[in-house]
Amino acid sequence: MRVLLDTNIIIYREANKPPRQEIGILFRWLDQLHHQKCIHPKTIEEIRRHKDQSVVSAFEAKITNYHQLKTLALESTSISTIRAKYDRNNNDSIDTDILNEVFCQRVDFLITEDRKIHKKASELGILERVFTIDAFLEKVTAENPELSDYKVLSVKKEFFGNLNLRDTFFDSFRRDYKEFDDWFNRKSDEIAYICTSETDKIVAFLYVKIEERDECYSDIVPAFNPAKRLKIGTLKVISNGY
């Protein structure tokens, strides 16, 4: 299989401190499955213009690890239509150039975190061949269970008060619930269940609440019979590929 890697995937891989821990898992899977890691000439040009010289240097040292597309497909009418509809700058144009190779069957898959590329792929009818990192990991894990190295993340009980409320993991809660910090602090002596990554970052959080028989469920239809219940109060999981 020939897998085309978008510019953002290469930058994640070659960064001194990869912003996505799943990037290493992704490349391990590509190697295990003997997929050819392809790179578009426009991606090479983009990376060489990157403002972080450490990324550029790391890429230049490892460029032979990637298969550079030696020829490019002619642009189809469908691609030209997408270009006219969506492309407003040079980056948009490069994204469409990359997508053209998928549309014209020059490569089997494209992996990208760019949501606009996914939108273009949907309109072109090739979304099933364009993946985010997480979606690709889900695909290969499901299709190749015998190759899966199931690393079980240990679940730890911890007091709310011992957790770092300023961890970026909790930012999505703050966006959705403006009183989140106050709520969190009121729970300081209560227990939460967490999983952490190898770098000690929170990747999963669970808070459960015991509700007694007299709990009011008047807003739920059909009505619950009185009973003691265990309720999931808060749950978030961001880790994948384990």
For residue 85, give the CATH number of its domain: 3.40.50.1010
- Are 103 and 124 in contact by the 8 Å Cβ rule? The answer is yes
Structure-token pair, residue 192: 């939460």
> What's the total number of domains in the chain?
2
Residue 242 has what pLDDT? 43
Does 242 map to a domain? no
Alpha-carbon gap, residue 79 to 96, rounded angstroms = 7
Check whether residue 132 and residue 221 sit in a common domain: no
pLDDT in tens, 115-155: 999 999 999 999 999 999 999 998 998 898 778 765 556 78
Sheet (strand 109-111) strand order: 67-68, 36-39, 2-5, 109-111, 130-131
Residue 145 has what pLDDT? 78
Question: Is the pLDDT assigned to residue 161 strictly greater than 90?
Answer: yes
Specify the DSSP element, H or E, that contains 85: helix 77-86
Check whether residue 171 and residue 132 sit in a common domain: no
* Most confident listed range (7-11, 53-57, 96-100): 96-100
Q: At what angle do helices 7-14 and 41-48 cross, to 10 degrees?
A: 50
Residue 212 has what pLDDT? 85
Check whether residue 30 and residue 132 sit in a common domain: yes
- Are 242 and 26 in contact by the 8 Å Cβ rule? The answer is no
- Domain span at residue 80? 2-147
Does 118 map to a domain? yes
Backbone phi, then psi, for 155, in 5-degree steps?
A: -95, 130
Residue predicted with more confidence, 211 or 60: 60
Residue 201 has what pLDDT? 84
Does 168 map to a domain? yes
* Nearest in space to 96 (alpha carbons), one of 108, 110, 26, 136: 110
Question: Is the pLDDT assigned to residue 241 strictly greater than 50?
Answer: no
Say what the alpha-carbon torsion angle 29, 35, 36, 42 is, to the nearest 10 degrees. -60
pLDDT in tens, 197-240: 777 889 899 999 888 888 887 777 787 788 888 889 999 988 55
Does 177 map to a domain? yes
Residues 68-92 have a mean pLDDT of 96
